[in-house]
Amino acid sequence: MNHYSANKHVLRPGKSMRLAEIHDGLENTFLIGEINNRFPAWGRPMNVRDPALGINKSPRGFGGAPGLGGANMLMADGSVRFVRENVSLEVMRALATPAGGEAIDNAALDR
């Protein structure tokens, strides 16, 4: 079973995205994150989810282990951030899109 899924806004069926197409910044775009339910088989094609659903808010979204209050998310620049489950859906939507042009307050991730 796989405990990670990709961001559906970056890894899309039938379309490869180049890093140069991530205009919001590699450090401001989710690539992959932890999941805590509905684990797909390892190697399942298009194992993607929507970060805009929030952390620990939807069985189709991302989430960390129970009791931790968030999940680890791999950013497109290769860094990993622990994102708390109380981060606003607005911030999650901004970090989910690769070229949405949204302003992101990175301090909101650390609250």
Quote the CA–CA distance of 83 and 77 in Å, as a whole number: 16
Kindly state whether residue 67 falls inside one of the protein's structural domains.
Answer: yes
Kindly state whether residue 21 falls inside one of the protein's structural domains.
Answer: yes
Kindly state whether residue 83 falls inside one of the protein's structural domains.
Answer: yes
The predicted pLDDT at position 12 comes to: 80
Kindly state whether residue 111 falls inside one of the protein's structural domains.
Answer: no
Model confidence pLDDT, tens digit, residues 69-79:
999 999 999 99
pTM for the complete prediction? 0.88
Mean pLDDT of the chain: 89
Q: Token match 């991530």: residue?
A: 22
Give the number of domains in the chain: 1
Cβ–Cβ < 8 Å for 63, 34: yes
| Structural domain span for residue 30 | 4-103
